[in-house]
Amino acid sequence: MLDILIANIVKIYRTGMGVDRIRNNLYLGEIDVVAWCKIKYWIIGR
């Protein structure tokens, strides 16, 4: 699953519903979802 995120990091689409879905699925609370995904990409993907 993480490989898919890393492969498509530039395609992250920021709709309200999409952000809410990612936030709920990953239990992120009020964290900025797009920033969280990008940080994970830079830490794990490189």
- pLDDT reported for residue 41: 75
What is the spatial distance between Cα 46 and Cα 44, in angstroms, rounded to a whole number?
A: 6
Q: CA 44 → CA 7, 17, 24, 29, 36, distances in Å? A: 12, 26, 21, 21, 12
The answer to whether 23 and 31 are in contact (CB under 8 A) is yes
Task: Express each pLDDT in 1-46 by its tens digit.
Answer: 667 776 776 776 677 788 888 889 889 888 888 888 888 877 776 5
- pLDDT reported for residue 12: 65
- pLDDT reported for residue 4: 78
- pLDDT reported for residue 13: 64
